[in-house]
Structure 1
Amino acid sequence: MVLSDNIKNMFASFALQTQKAMDRYTSFRVGGPADILVLPQTVEQVIALAKTAHSAQLPITIIGAGTNVLISDKGIRGLVMVLTRLQQNIEQTEPSIDTVDASPDRIYLTALAGEPLNRLCRYAADAGLAGLAWAAGIPGTIGGAVMMNAGSFGSDMSRVVTKIEVLDLNTFKTMVLPVSLLQFSYRKLALENSIVLKITIRLSRADAETVRDEFNRNLKTKQSTQPVSQASAGCFFQNPPGDKPAGFLIEQAGMKRARCNGAMVSDLHANFIVNHGNACASDILNLADQVKKSVYEKFGINLKEEVKTIGD
């Protein structure tokens, strides 16, 4: 998109970048240019940017750490906000006496959406707070983790979230949504036309050494069974219904180590597609299509993507 001088002037007060390649903002290390890219640092900046984009009639795309997305080679039109700088000190509070769950063992942690999930996990482990160790080794921000209902080791974000604060893009007002109003499902939160700004989770006091041991054990498991040091977007496909996960099906379909130029199905975990340094988004998508076709031909199962593809 060619941006007019008028639109550029509307964003003049922000530290924006135009036609900025998105490869450095995703864990896949691929992605074409964003028309306008901004990394807001405060909630107030997010609100102001959203209002400006609305006035300029530009679409808005929100990205966290880019760990569960694939950006097309043609890039993203409109305004892209990367929220990795939207952070503050993690707040720790106890339940008030009139709280429904006022157990003295309960502790609430509140963080802005750009807070790395791993940092929150380690904070909880060091503080002896149980309930989040399952997320050890999951990359990305807490905001992204909520939006995709990230999960591992039999748990997910829906088990710990108590409320979120969002910006409604219809009214441009912030509102707090309790968990009772949130529709979580497998790897998804049904939240339309809103930007997650702040998250509160509920944990429990526990023995600090026990919590740290669980955290470290889960982290080592992730590191030994997944290609965490390679450029990928995590598990590419959702696990289908049944007791056979996507990785097993892909491997049994003979697609482990399959390649399309610089993209390859990981030889460590078959539900990971990795970028060996020179892949583009189309290589990854073509390889994913080959994987889906092979699994369907062998098992009659249609794999669904867990990674979200965005852009033209």
Structure 2
Amino acid sequence: MVLSDNIKNMFASFAPETQMAMDRYTSFRVGGPADLLVLPSTVDQVIALIKTAQKAALPVTIIGGGTNVLISDKGIRGLVVVLTRLKQKIEQTTPSTSTDGHASNSVHLTALAGERLGSLCRYAADAGLAGLAWAAGIPGTVGGAVMMNAGAFGSDMSRVVTEIEVLDLANLETRVLAADSLQFSYRKLVLENSIVLKVRLELTRTDTQTVKEEFYRNLKTKQSTQPVSQASAGCFFQNPPGDKPAGFLIEQAGMKSARCNGAMVSDLHANFIVNHGNACASDILNLACQVKKSVYEKFGINLKEEVKTIGD
């Protein structure tokens, strides 16, 4: 949309970018322009941005690390808020006692939503805190990991999140949600009309060397089995019910290494679509459609996307 000078002036104090290509803000390295883009660094700035957007009647799109999204070639209308600068020093606290009155061995780590999951995972490993080593090598932000219930090696965020702080978009007030009130499922958190601002995890103090060994073992496994050095959005499809993962089905359907212009099904892991440097969003979407069609024709299984497509 064409933004009026009046709307631009309303956001002037936030140092916005106009018509900024989104390719630099996604791991796929594709995406058309955002009408207005801001990278806030504090919770107060996020709240002020949303309030201003509501006054200006602008739609708002929230993006974390851009590692699980595909932005259309036509871009995103309205205001785009990228949360990668919303971070602070990771807080570590230790409950004095457990629920049964004995000394607690648990430790809470608190981080703002823009903190990199990889940074939090490495922090935990260095501090000898068990429970997050499964996240070694997973890109993106902590907030995005919660929203997608990121997981690997048999665990996921739902196992370690103890509470989150969110911004309620209906009244622009913050509220804290305990873990037992959160509706996690496979690669999803049901969170209506809210933005994750802060995350608290509960981990367990243990031997530092043991945690580090698990961390580096998981990291090495990811690096040897997934195209982590190439532009992608991680696993493109959810694993369907049953014991056959999406990557296996795609490979058996003959789609491993399949191409559509600059987009390619990874020859290392078939559930990854990679951008070889000149792909556009439509190439990736077309290739994904071919993959779904081939898997359905061979197995009768309709793969569901894990990557979220946003924009016009």
TM range (shorter): over 0.9
Q: Normalising by structure 1, report the TM-score.
A: 0.98
In the aligned structure 2, how far is the partner of 1:160 from the partner of 1:60?
29
Q: Deviations over 1:45-91 (max 9, x none)?
A: 00000000011111111111100000000000111010000010000
Q: Normalising by structure 2, report the TM-score.
A: 0.98
11-20 vs 233-242, which moves further = 11-20
Q: Deviations over 1:108-157 (max 9, x none)?
A: 00000000000000000000000000000000000000000000000000
In the aligned structure 2, how far is the partner of 1:244 from the partner of 1:71?
29
Q: CA RMSD in A?
A: 1.1
| Counterpart for residue 22 of structure 2 | 22
1:311 deviates by: 0.3
- Match runs of 1:285-300 below 5 Å: 285-300=285-300
Secondary structure at the counterpart of residue 171 of structure 1: coil
Q: 1:4 to 1:132 in 2, by over 3 A?
A: same
Identity over aligned pairs, percent: 82
Secondary structure at the counterpart of residue 167 of structure 1: strand
| Counterpart for residue 33 of structure 1 | 33
| Counterpart for residue 138 of structure 2 | 138
Q: Tell whether the 8 Å contact from 1:64 to 1:143 is kept in structure 2 after alignment.
A: yes
Paired letter, 1:113: A
In the aligned structure 1, how far is the partner of 2:269 from the partner of 2:98?
47
- Match runs of 1:181-260 below 5 Å: 181-260=181-260
Q: Tell whether the 8 Å contact from 2:237 to 2:304 is kept in structure 1 after alignment.
A: yes
In the aligned structure 1, how far is the partner of 2:53 from the partner of 2:20?
17
Q: Tell whether the 8 Å contact from 1:95 to 1:101 is kept in structure 2 after alignment.
A: no
| Counterpart for residue 81 of structure 2 | 81
| 2:152 corresponds to 1:147 | no
Unaligned segments of structure 2, at least 5 residues? none
Paired letter, 1:32: G
Q: Deviations over 1:198-250 (max 9, x none)?
A: 00000001100000000000000000000000000000000000000000000
Point out 4+ residue stretches in structure 1 off by more than 3 angstroms. 96-103
Q: Tell whether the 8 Å contact from 2:98 to 2:104 is kept in structure 1 after alignment.
A: no
In the aligned structure 1, how far is the partner of 2:27 from the partner of 2:105?
37
Aligned residues between the structures: 312
| Counterpart for residue 261 of structure 1 | 261
Secondary structure at the counterpart of residue 176 of structure 2: strand
1:22 deviates by: 0.1
Paired letter, 2:105: D
